[in-house]
Amino acid sequence: MDAKQIITKKINGDILSDSELEFIILSYVQNKIDDGLMTDFLRSVKKNGMSMNETISLTSIMVDSGERIDLSQHKPYKADKHSTGGVGDKVSLVLGPIMASLGITIPMLAGRSLGHTGGTIDKLETIPNFKTNLPVEEFRRNVERSGICIMAQTDSICPADKKIYALRDITDTIDSLPLICGSIMSKKIAEGIDGLVMDIKIGNGAFMKELVTAKDLGSILKHVGESFNVSTDIVFSNMDQPLGNTAGMWCEVLESINALKGQGADDLMAVVFELGSRLMLQAGIVETNEQAIQAQENSISSGRAYEKFEEMVVNQQGNIRDAIKVNQPLFVKEITSDQEGFIESFDTTMIGWANADMGCGRRTKSDTLDNSAGVEFNVKVGDYVKEGDRVFRCFNSNISKLEKACMILNKTYSIGKKKVETPELIYKN
């Protein structure tokens, strides 16, 4: 087969066979085609899309490019959650321990920052010594021992996706529905799970701007998941403003710890409880949403949820006690309102990029992260502010990056005279 001919075929909008797709994907993994050719392929997929059969085939090729995690001897219901990415989205860090404390097994492969959105693995690595790169056997033992382990994608699990994922981040091909689906579902299927809940973000801070497009992605994800015998629920949530009280690195982990101790922001906990309820209903351990929410609240109030988080951190050799000390920012700046009125809107994507430039994300593969960096949000849409009230508190350990980010953040919110309604957080399917 000839890679250029196959890619030209896709550029022309033709449907590729299983063997043609496999040839392209594996040729890239084996360094037989370079980033340039693969970029042409990814952009042709973004432009022309894929048929359902192509998408299922792409997912299968990615799964089969590496090893699968065998949890077949582990009897409790095995499930995971995935988000399409947002600003301030630390849901996995809160939801995972709650679910594990309630008897659902969470074997989670998580990602790094992508575009303007943060990455769960980057955040966890702000905990001193926390190991995210685990051998598959150690990951499996942690899951069986404690019911939860969150690790980075290894070289042995879906290596095709790992390499393509890094290229998508810098080639403007993040928001292709088939590529999103293949990337997400290959990792989830390789985990050996029984069920999955997908949090598809919608709004100006999400990759999906409109509900109609998000529903298209949800339909594809559900179809692919169930074709691999993974029960798949779809939740659509609003990303027209950041989620929770912070966005960044260690600050999000600290917020998650506070949430597990009963001090979670209302919007963050609403998303956590919605996703958790879907998983608990899938697993058959509750019969109603009300029972599921009550069980999650009890897990937090009893201390079991936070204990499970601590157990996970210890299993992965992390040290929470030292985290606050080593992640103190050197510089802090406040952004205050220059007028009186009501917060009308946020440009959440611009907030995400400002955060990335401050040290929370990557514009290129070689960019380094600043664990101390982040933004604290002091207001939400609909809140009243007076002149001089704090809107954002920004912090990191590089003053030039901080000043540049603050110049951007100053332009990311609008204030009006009339109170606007708080955006609907969870969209009804």
Under 8 Å CB-to-CB from 62, ≥6 apart: which residues?
Answer: 25, 158, 160, 161, 182, 183, 186
What is the rounded distance in angstroms from the CA atom of residue 207 to the CA atom of residue 243? 15
Q: What own/partner pairs with CB < 8 Å and gap ≥ 24 does 210-217 have?
A: 211/236, 211/427, 213/177, 216/177, 217/84, 217/177, 217/180, 217/181
CB atoms within 10 A of CB 280: 26
- Specify the residue for token string 């990602």: 111
Q: Is-catalytic flag, 70?
A: no
Catalytic residue among 60, 183, 186, 237: 183
Q: Looking at 122, 161, 233, 347, which residue is catalytic?
A: 161
Q: Which is the catalytic residue, given 112, 168, 201, 308?
A: 168
The alpha carbon of 77 is separated from its chain's Cα centroid by a whole number of angstroms, namely: 22
Catalytic, out of 46, 81, 82, 278: 82
Cα–Cα distance between 172 and 36 in angstroms, integer? 13
Q: Quick check: is 168 catalytic?
A: yes
51, amino acid identity? S
Can you tell me which residue has the tokens 């009300």?
290
Check: CB of residue 335 under 8 Å from CB of residue 390: yes
Any catalytic annotation for residue 89?
A: no
Choose, from 187, 201, 278, 362, the residue flagged as catalytic: 187
**Distance separating the N- and C-terminal Cα atoms of the chain:** 44
Nearest Cα to 423, choosing from 198, 118, 203? Answer: 203
Among residues 342, 336, 344, 343, the alpha carbon closest in space to that of 388 is found at: 336
* 194 annotated active-site: no
Let me know if 44 is a catalytic residue: no
Q: How many CA atoms lie within 13 A of 328 on its CB side?
A: 6
Sequence-ordered strand ranges (E) for 62-173 = 79-83, 106-110, 148-152
Sign of the Cα torsion 198, 98, 154, 358 reads: positive
Residues designated as active site: 82, 161, 168, 183, 187
